[in-house]
Amino acid sequence: MDNPSIAKSQQATASATLKGIAREYGIYLAFVILVVALSFANKYFLTQSNISNVLLQTSINGVLAFGMTFVIITGGIDLSVGSVLALAGIVSASFATNSPQATVAGGPYPVFVALTAGVLVGVASGAIIGPIVARFNVPAFVATLGMLSAARGLTLIYAGGRPVPALTPQYRWIGNGNVFGVPAPVVIFAAIFLVSWFVLARTRFGRYVYAVGGNARAAKTSGINVVRVRIAVYVISGGFAGVAGMLLAARTGSALTQAGIGYELDAIAAVVIGGISLSGGVGRMTGALIGALIIGVMNNGLDLMGIESYYQQVLKGMLIVGAVMLDQRRNLGG
């Protein structure tokens, strides 16, 4: 006869294994189920043109989410990315516009000048937030909320409250061009993901990011410069927001002062849905990618089915709350 204790032990082991698999790969399974369900719900969903459209829609939020992942893994948060996106887009576009009223004196400039300006604006924003959080111990929520307001105000001041139209064809290419048939924003999105994944998963800096998020005091004791790591992740997030701002401006053909409103919520949603813990120290860049794709696929599928955007916001909110609840249960060992 089988020993009951052995049978119970085997059942417990099998249950733990299943829980581990669900915890590790559940988000990927959810994404596949969502795609399959939407493909049956609408015959146009899996067409090549619509898949390209989904990736285009996902690219900007995905870039923001990759930067947000670095911040959240360290236990922080960045509410400023939407406003920084707008500021970087406006500044960058002002170097690449044919409009005499909107251009910087002597413009338009070569496209690399405009792109460099946009990235530098994002990096500078992160370089301001980082020390406030890391050196002065201001809560990240407060510091980035302040930058959200400040960057939006600077956007309006810089542009005089007006959009920057008539962007040069070279600049617009990054939002509307193609690389071997693949939309340029999707190529940029994929390249940023690969670099971000490599940095987080395969470099010493990536290990430091996890260590700071897992236990900052222990990380400091082990010789990690916690302040420098925290500053670096906000600089990365700001730089990525700058890239996203330029992609958005290039896609629409003009930079708008109201661009990026609410984008920080979508970026945070992608990260949380992707299984990155708000408590810090846990998560993968692939999770942020899948989270961004889930939001993009969900928005696109609901649009195809004619469901109003108001309901999409409700569903997105429910997904965020559900993901956070699962995260809390995981942290408590449930």
Indicate the pLDDT class of residue 10, thresholds 50, 70 and 90: low
What confidence tens digit (pLDDT) does each residue in 120-150 have?
999 999 999 999 999 999 999 999 999 999 9
DSSP label of 256: -
Indicate the pLDDT class of residue 204, thresholds 50, 70 and 90: very high
Q: Under DSSP, is residue 183 helix (H, G, I), strand (E, B) or coil? A: strand
CA atoms within 13 A on the CB side of 266: 24
| Cα(262)–Cα(239) distance, integer angstroms | 18
326 by Cβ neighbours in 10 Å (0-12 / 13-18 / 19+) ranks as: middle
CA-based nearest residue to 168, from 209, 114, 221, 121:
114
| Cα(95)–Cα(171) distance, integer angstroms | 10
What confidence tens digit (pLDDT) does each residue in 229-278 have?
999 999 999 999 999 999 999 999 999 999 999 999 999 999 999 989 98
CATH 1.10.8 fits 27-327, yes or no: no
Q: What is the pLDDT of residue 1?
A: 46
Q: What is the pLDDT of residue 25?
A: 74
For residues 105 and 217, is the Cβ–Cβ distance under 8 A?
A: no
| Maximum Cα interatomic distance, the chain, rounded to a whole number of Å | 90
Q: What is the pLDDT of residue 106?
A: 84
Q: Under DSSP, is residue 80 helix (H, G, I), strand (E, B) or coil? A: coil
| Cα(108)–Cα(112) distance, integer angstroms | 11
For residues 158 and 94, is the Cβ–Cβ distance under 8 A?
A: yes
Tokens of 2: 């089988």
Q: What is the pLDDT of residue 333?
A: 59
pLDDT at 16 over 60: no
| Cα(4)–Cα(26) distance, integer angstroms | 31
What confidence tens digit (pLDDT) does each residue in 281-317 have?
999 999 999 999 999 999 999 889 888 878 878 887 8
Residues 212-219 have a mean pLDDT of: 96
What confidence tens digit (pLDDT) does each residue in 19-69 have?
656 666 788 888 999 999 999 989 899 999 999 999 999 999 999 999 999
| Cα(128)–Cα(83) distance, integer angstroms | 14
For residues 140 and 78, is the Cβ–Cβ distance under 8 A?
A: yes
Tokens of 270: 């992608």
Q: What is the pLDDT of residue 319?
A: 79
Q: What is the pLDDT of residue 322?
A: 80
Q: Under DSSP, is residue 141 helix (H, G, I), strand (E, B) or coil? A: helix
pLDDT at 178 over 80: yes
**Within 10 A of 48 (CB to CB), how many other CB atoms are there?**
7
Q: Which residue has the tokens 């909320």?
A: 145
Cα torsion through 100, 106, 110, 114, rounded to 10: -70
* Per-domain residue ranges of the chain: 27-327
